[in-house]
Amino acid sequence: MPGAPPDDTASDVAGPEGSGTDPGLAAAPPPPPGAGVPAPGAGYAWPLQPPPAVLTPFRAPTHAYGPGHRGVDLAGRAGQPVLAARAGTVAFAGPVAGHGVVSVQHDDGLRTTYEPVSATVATGAVVRAGDVLGVLEPGHTGCAAEAVCLHWGVRRDRLDYLDPLVLLGPTRVRLLPVPDPWPDGDPPAPGR
The string of pLDDT tens digits covering residues 113-126 is 999 999 999 999 99
Rounded Cα distance, 120 and 134, in Å: 5
Domain that holds residue 122: 54-168
Q: In this predicted model, what pLDDT tens digit does every residue of 142-192 receive, in sequence order?
A: 666 566 899 999 988 877 788 888 888 755 556 667 667 766 666 666 654
Examine residue 139 and state whether it is found in any structural domain, yes or no: yes
Q: How many domains in the chain?
A: 1
Query: Which of 127, 156, 165, 185 has the alpha carbon at shortest distance from 7?
Result: 156
pTM: 0.66
Cis preceding linkage at 23, omega within 30? no
Examine residue 33 and state whether it is found in any structural domain, yes or no: no
Examine residue 147 and state whether it is found in any structural domain, yes or no: yes
pLDDT given at position 49: 93
Q: What is the SS3 string spanning the chain? A: CCCCCCCCCCCCCCCCCCCCCCCCCCCCCCCCCCCCCCCCCCCCCCCCCCCCCEEECCECCCCCCCCCECCEEEEECCCCEEECCCCEEEEEEEEECCEEEEEEECCCCEEEEEECEEECCCCCCEECCCCEEEEECCCCCCCCCCCEEEEEEEEECCCEEECHHHHHCCCCCCCCCCCCCCCCCCCCCCCC
Examine residue 27 and state whether it is found in any structural domain, yes or no: no
Examine residue 137 and state whether it is found in any structural domain, yes or no: yes
Rounded Cα distance, 133 and 122, in Å: 9
Examine residue 9 and state whether it is found in any structural domain, yes or no: no
- Can you give the CATH number for the domain in which 59 is found? 2.70.70.10
Q: In this predicted model, what pLDDT tens digit does every residue of 65-92 receive, in sequence order?
A: 767 667 888 999 999 999 999 999 999 9
Examine residue 161 and state whether it is found in any structural domain, yes or no: yes
Examine residue 87 and state whether it is found in any structural domain, yes or no: yes
CB 75 within 8 A of CB 52: yes
